[in-house]
Structure 1
Amino acid sequence: MELKLQHGKALLVDLAMSSVLHYSTKLFIKSSNTVFLLTHLWVVAAVKWICLRCFLLGSWNEATVRRCVAVTCLMCPVYESGLTLLMNTQPENWSGSLSCPGKTIASTAATLIACLFCEVNFPGTKSATNESSECAERKQRNRVLFMRVVRYSKPDAPLLSGAFVFLALAVICDMFIPFYTGKVIDILGEGYQANSFMSAIFLMGLLSLGSSLSSGLRGGLFMCTLSRLNKRVRLMLFNALVKQEIGFFEDKKTGDLTSRLSVDTKLMSQSVAMNVNILLRSLIKSVGILYLMLSLSWKLTLVTFIEAPLIAITQKIYNTHYEQLSKEVQDSVARANETAGEAVAGVRTVRSFRMELGETCRYDERLTDTHNLKTRRDTVRAVYLLVRRIMSLGMQFLMLYYGRQLIRSGHMSTGNLVSFILYQGDLGIYIRTLVYMYSDMLNSVGAAAKVFEYLDRKPLVSMDGSLHPDTLAGQVYFKNLTFFYPTRPDRPALKNFSLELKPGQMTALVGMSGGGKTTCVSLLEGFYQPQQGHILLDGQPLQNYQHKFLHKKVAMVGQDPVLFSGTIRDNIAYGLTDCDQKMVEDAAREANAHDFISRLEKRYDTDVGERGCLLAGGQKQRIAIARALIRQPQVLILDEVTSSLDTESERMVQDALASRPNQTLLVIAHRLKTIEKADQIVVIDKGEVVEQGTHQELMENKGNYYKLRERLFTEEKDAEEAKQ
């Protein structure tokens, strides 16, 4: 409030001072010398500035006040000096006083525009300074990111060089077309000369042909570069993602990752190929057109600069709001994609719970949010285009008015004015494009910051081991393990867990759901890194082994196996390069899958469909078992693999496993009948080993295993009675 009062007082002081100076000058100064009058105006401006500075001494530290006072004092001498220079008129001593209302109002409007321009581009308050500092830091980071994207484009240097050459040729040809258009008008308007007319027309046609050809080649090369870079970045990102630890994917949504692969990588590629193309073209054309405009009329060129601050203000405001809304739209699209992906992936669950309408409504809400954001974004753009159009029409009117004055005074021809107006219209477009594309280019690179974050992220579970011995016994030792899942850091999945798996023995893990059985398997597979303790394989820490070697010697078959789209042969031999047909068939026989595969029309060339949807649950299970057995692993993990198998298939799989006496076998089973022959049974509860021994020993102890077996037996009996 106090600052507003100061500003009001300053305005009254300025008006009073201006009026006094104006009338005193008319009384005591009678000279009509132009230099003397201009000098007087500048001296008066300096006196006003000193007086206002002294009056506003208390608030002089405000940058806004300083700028406003400076512009107010300088407006009159700058305006009269410019008018004298451009129009050769006598300067008038109005000094912003009320004696000349028209010029006073125009001066006030110009002052407001100038101050607004300064506030938008160079904020002076403390909070605005902090925001400006943060914006500058963000832009600096974006510049670093942009240079990194440029380095990714190094393999496309020959294509980019060719594109830049054709870009320069296209720009040169484009710039001279309006110039010869004006020449043609002058030839037609003065005395028609056939030779001059035909020469001008021929040059215009040649320039147009050169511009079209160069523009086409330039665009083709840039688009080729865009496609190559986009492919390269997507491949790098995908390779970085699949190398992350399993815990990384637990708190990352599929829609977010696919959005980075599809949307952000495209923005990264555009920042070099498309945006640099437009930015350089606009920059070169702006410089060239400005030079030609100065050669046609430097006075008219100075008038065109009136539009520059207005363009800068509107473009700055528009960019700020449009970029923010574009980011919100991008996030909203990712959420909508995520919702659709979840519904499609879990369509069986959706159908079983009759949630088709619910999922449709949920997806409709996401689409509605996206639509509303897009509407707001497009409204901002519509208002911006309207304001820009009004400014353009106003500038054209001013140009025509002043151009007419120059033609009447003989300083310019009609053809030159036409060429100048064509150049001026193009210059406004290119300046706006420069401001917008520079900001958009940095914004598109900034949107790729998440991509770089994923590219630079090192997996928490190391895969840099180099150990690959010629022989592996398969002795596994879980030594004092303590482990927390990344998504549940407050609840340990394993606590001081120790267990030994010996070669040639079958170890069974049993216990209630959530006890830690699957966690043991995940740690043994190297999916996670325990916070405390070690997993030793033949006495060596698991992370010391080579990634490829480890997962060939340690194989797992899950309860719900995942098959990939392709043939049965491809899925059995998945990850193996030196695998012939005989090895595939032998593994299928061991898993009791050869018979049903042989009955299929295309046998091993049968397509399993997406995630194996064309096969039954038991068939997928047997193919997954064959995929594990073909590797001849030394350590085999079976996680409830017999749940989908019939009795005959279960027996054949057990016989196949029994034929490998030196293999370390770890089994997780809820049907306790399948593990009665295990060499050791380990009961796990709340991440700890509570009981361990053979089936007979544990039954005699009548501890946790005995109680668990009795409970499951009662549940199975009740289920059979219910069926009857």
Structure 2
Amino acid sequence: MIRSWLRSIGYEPVLTREDIKSSKKRKGARASDWQKTLRHIWKIVDEQRGLLIVVIGMVILSSVLSLLGPYLIGKIIDDHMIKRNFSGLKTMIAGLVIVYIGLSISLFLQNYWMIGIAQQTVYRMRTELFSKLQRLPISFFDKRQHGELMSRMTNDMDNISSTLNSTFIQVFSSVLTLIGTVIVMLTMSPLLTLLTMLIIPVMFISTRWITRRTGKLFKSQQQALGTLNGMIEETISGQRVVKAFSQEQRMMDDFAEKSSHLRRVGYWANVYSGAIPKVMNLLNNASFAVVAGVGGLLAVKGYVSIGTIVVFAEYARQFTRPLNDLANQFNNVLSAIAGAERVFSIMEEDEEQDDAKNAPLRKVQGDVKFEDVSFKYETEEENQTISQINFHVKKGQTAALVGATGAGKTTIMQLLARFYDVQQGQILIDNQPIQAFSRENIRSRMAFVLQEPFLFEATVKENIRYGQLDASDEEVIEAAKKANAHDFIMTLPQGYNTFLTSDGGEISQGQKQLLSIARALVANPSILLLDEATSSIDTVTELEIQEALERLMQGRTSFVIAHRLNTVRKADVILVMQQGELVESGRREELIAKKGIFYQMLQQSKL
């Protein structure tokens, strides 16, 4: 009945009976994953062992003081209030005040120091995760939403941080308080202790029933949040495309669907986890009522004193409170573990393998050979992306890659930059296998000018200097002049110190491309990889870019994905790609004379 009503108002359950049954089968594997995740976290926390020991000492002190307070109250009632014996009463009250002041100070200090431990731990994890992302191959990012990765860096890390801030102390303190309370209660009245502990089986069964459902839900919640963040990041980055194709409504519908899924998962996660404190309070009040009722009868018959009943009632609350806290914190732990699993899953990804990582840097001249190179992306099921590619581009030559979309032009660029490694054949640079050079070595001697130039949130000067971080201001300006970018830069509000946003919205597409060429010039590379980006530029700007590209390519080995006739006409060698194969190669005049595929492309005005 309740489930049907919830469905009617839009809260669909995300856990079915089949989900619960299947989760039982995965229980062993999930427990193992959680244990592994907790060991990873503990390994980082343990690096601050000294401060952690101090925090544990404060937790022990606060637990002892919290037990001592009610005991002193009982002594005051029995020895002084009931007997009307005021001798030493001031001393007892002063002692009680000191106990509670000490308790407050110890609680403050343990929280203060634990926050420092938690923040240092999350700082270390966040730094390691970011460093890991820099070492992962391009293929990793090709298969994942960027917003989803950002969610792991932010939301999941914040979740871990907030849990470490409070949960560790709370759990340890609750366990100590629970043990100490039971010991003291047994010394005072075994019968009342037994009555108090009757709620434990009920508490255990109800908590277990709830937490079996919350673990899966919290993990689903984190995944749904990551997916939603990915969609938001994509939509904001591609806002011009969305508006250009009038897809606002479709994006809103897509967002509503993903947001609704997050709402449903979050709803049930919080419904189940929120039931725990309610159940605990009910059992807590029931336990208190039993202790008060039975204790009152025992006091009337003289088996226990009034002070003992007062103290025992307080201890009964202290007995159930740690259980309540443990149940609540368990939900926080589940949520944090779900986030930590997502973080550590990235930490366990395979990094770029580089056998020549520690090899000394070599000077790259720019002579490039492809010998029987074949390659297939992981997502390709059958046909290879490129197959049996052979060509030789000598130092200082310009090679134009032409062919239809999907012919393999960009793949050749990616293999040359070692974003991916060849699966068959070999690539030679200066007659050395490309694997003999470290990736850093190869890429430090290459520069890229892509169709869609990317700018960072930094000044114009810093964006250009990204090609060579130790370049002087004079070198930056000289590169900008050669790239025909200096004149428009000087018209900006602060010139070279003008701050640009990541999408470069303050300047035109052509101006962004000129900055990209200046960035490549300041890097002074031996090999250029150019995805010629003049097809969507106005004629005047195109001429400026073409002139800047010619300066950039002068004396350097260049690979150009050609879209325009001018580039093909001036190329030393033209590589004609078709369905992943190199079908023709040679100079423009030679290929025209053959009247083959390249000639047909010219006739169709594609080049």
Given the two structures, how large is their TM-score scaled by the length of structure 2?
0.90
Q: Relative to structure 1, is the Cα distance of residues 375 and 440 closer, same or farther in structure 2, using a 3 angstrom cutoff?
A: closer
**Residue type matched to 2:227 in 1?**
R
Residue 642 of structure 1: how far off its partner (Å): 3.6
1:591 to 483, 486, 495: 483
SS in 1 for 2:387: strand
Q: Separation in 2 of the partners of 1:362 and 1:161?
A: 50
Residue 621 in structure 1 maps to residue 513 in structure 2:
yes
Q: Separation in 1 of the partners of 2:377 and 2:26?
A: 36
Q: Separation in 2 of the partners of 1:705 and 1:586?
A: 39
- Contact 2:500–2:506, Cα closer than 8 Å, also in 1: yes
Residue 162 in structure 1 maps to residue 57 in structure 2:
no
Residue 529 in structure 1 maps to residue 421 in structure 2:
yes
Q: Relative to structure 1, is the Cα distance of residues 258 and 668 closer, same or farther in structure 2, using a 3 angstrom cutoff?
A: same
1:681 to 544, 569, 574: 574
- For 1:106, the equivalent position in structure 2 comes to none
**Residue type matched to 2:605 in 1?**
L
SS in 1 for 2:605: helix
Residue 411 in structure 1 maps to residue 303 in structure 2:
yes
Superposition pairs of residues 416-431 of structure 1, within 5 angstroms: 416-431=308-323
**Residue type matched to 2:470 in 1?**
D
Superposition pairs of residues 77-92 of structure 1, within 5 angstroms: none
Q: Separation in 1 of the partners of 2:399 and 2:193?
A: 88
Residue 402 in structure 1 maps to residue 294 in structure 2:
yes
Q: Relative to structure 1, is the Cα distance of residues 134 and 376 closer, same or farther in structure 2, using a 3 angstrom cutoff?
A: closer
1:690 to 570, 575, 583: 583
Superposition pairs of residues 224-263 of structure 1, within 5 angstroms: 224-263=116-155
Deviation track 1:388-442 (CA, whole Å, cap 9, x = no partner) reads: 3333333222212221232123221111111111111111121243355457536
- For 2:226, the equivalent position in structure 1 comes to 334
- Contact 2:185–2:315, Cα closer than 8 Å, also in 1: yes
SS in 2 for 1:515: coil
Of structures 1 and 2, the larger Rg is shown by: 1
- For 1:278, the equivalent position in structure 2 comes to 170
Deviation track 1:10-54 (CA, whole Å, cap 9, x = no partner) reads: xxxxxxxxxxxxxxxxxxxxxxxxxxxxxxxxxxxxxxxxxxxxx
**Residue type matched to 2:551 in 1?**
A
- For 1:669, the equivalent position in structure 2 comes to 562
Tell me which moved more, 592-601 or 219-228.
Answer: 592-601
Residue 516 of structure 1: how far off its partner (Å): 1.0
**Residue type matched to 2:582 in 1?**
V
1:390 to 253, 260, 282: 282
Residue 653 in structure 1 maps to residue 548 in structure 2:
yes
**Residue type matched to 1:676 in 2?**
R
Q: Where in structure 2 are there 5+ consecutive unaligned residues?
A: 1-19
1:500 to 388, 392, 402: 392
Residue 368 in structure 1 maps to residue 260 in structure 2:
yes
Superposition pairs of residues 194-233 of structure 1, within 5 angstroms: 194-233=86-125
Residue 302 of structure 1: how far off its partner (Å): 1.7
SS in 2 for 1:458: coil
Q: Separation in 1 of the partners of 2:271 and 2:514?
A: 58
- Contact 1:466–1:544, Cα closer than 8 Å, also in 2: no
**Residue type matched to 1:252 in 2?**
R
Q: Separation in 2 of the partners of 1:275 and 1:550?
A: 48
Q: Separation in 2 of the partners of 1:129 and 1:634?
A: 61
Residue 548 in structure 1 maps to residue 440 in structure 2:
yes
- For 1:139, the equivalent position in structure 2 comes to 31
SS in 1 for 2:312: helix
Q: Separation in 1 of the partners of 2:494 and 2:326?
A: 60
* Percent of aligned pairs sharing the same letter: 28
Superposition pairs of residues 170-181 of structure 1, within 5 angstroms: 170-181=62-73
- Contact 1:271–1:445, Cα closer than 8 Å, also in 2: no
Q: Separation in 1 of the partners of 2:23 and 2:240?
A: 50
- Contact 2:454–2:502, Cα closer than 8 Å, also in 1: no
Superposition pairs of residues 44-63 of structure 1, within 5 angstroms: none
SS in 2 for 1:633: coil
- For 2:449, the equivalent position in structure 1 comes to 557
2:528 to 632, 636, 640: 636
**Residue type matched to 1:521 in 2?**
M
Residue 187 of structure 1: how far off its partner (Å): 5.0
SS in 2 for 1:242: helix
Residue 629 of structure 1: how far off its partner (Å): 1.5
- For 1:22, the equivalent position in structure 2 comes to none
- For 2:17, the equivalent position in structure 1 comes to none
Residue 640 of structure 1: how far off its partner (Å): 1.0
Residue 476 of structure 1: how far off its partner (Å): 0.8
Residue 565 of structure 1: how far off its partner (Å): 0.7
Superposition pairs of residues 503-518 of structure 1, within 5 angstroms: 503-518=395-410
2:206 to 305, 310, 314: 314
SS in 2 for 1:712: coil
Deviation track 1:254-296 (CA, whole Å, cap 9, x = no partner) reads: 2321222123334444565532211111111111111221222
Q: How many pairs are equivalent?
A: 585
- For 2:365, the equivalent position in structure 1 comes to 473
Deviation track 1:635-662 (CA, whole Å, cap 9, x = no partner) reads: 111111343372541453244146x43x
Q: Relative to structure 1, is the Cα distance of residues 233 and 351 closer, same or farther in structure 2, using a 3 angstrom cutoff?
A: same
- Contact 1:556–1:637, Cα closer than 8 Å, also in 2: yes
Residue 140 of structure 1: how far off its partner (Å): 4.0
SS in 2 for 1:288: helix
Q: Relative to structure 1, is the Cα distance of residues 287 and 484 closer, same or farther in structure 2, using a 3 angstrom cutoff?
A: same
Residue 382 of structure 1: how far off its partner (Å): 4.9
Tell me which moved more, 249-258 or 311-320.
Answer: 249-258
- Contact 1:167–1:214, Cα closer than 8 Å, also in 2: yes
Q: Relative to structure 1, is the Cα distance of residues 538 and 556 closer, same or farther in structure 2, using a 3 angstrom cutoff?
A: same
Q: Separation in 2 of the partners of 1:647 and 1:408?
A: 101
Q: Separation in 2 of the partners of 1:686 and 1:292?
A: 81
Q: Where in structure 1 are there 5+ consecutive unaligned residues?
A: 1-127, 717-724
**Residue type matched to 2:598 in 1?**
Y
Q: Relative to structure 1, is the Cα distance of residues 290 and 575 closer, same or farther in structure 2, using a 3 angstrom cutoff?
A: farther
Residue 451 in structure 1 maps to residue 343 in structure 2:
yes
Q: Separation in 1 of the partners of 2:467 and 2:308?
A: 72
Residue 471 of structure 1: how far off its partner (Å): 3.1
Given the two structures, how large is their TM-score scaled by the length of structure 1?
0.76
Residue 709 in structure 1 maps to residue 602 in structure 2:
yes
1:568 to 442, 450, 460: 460
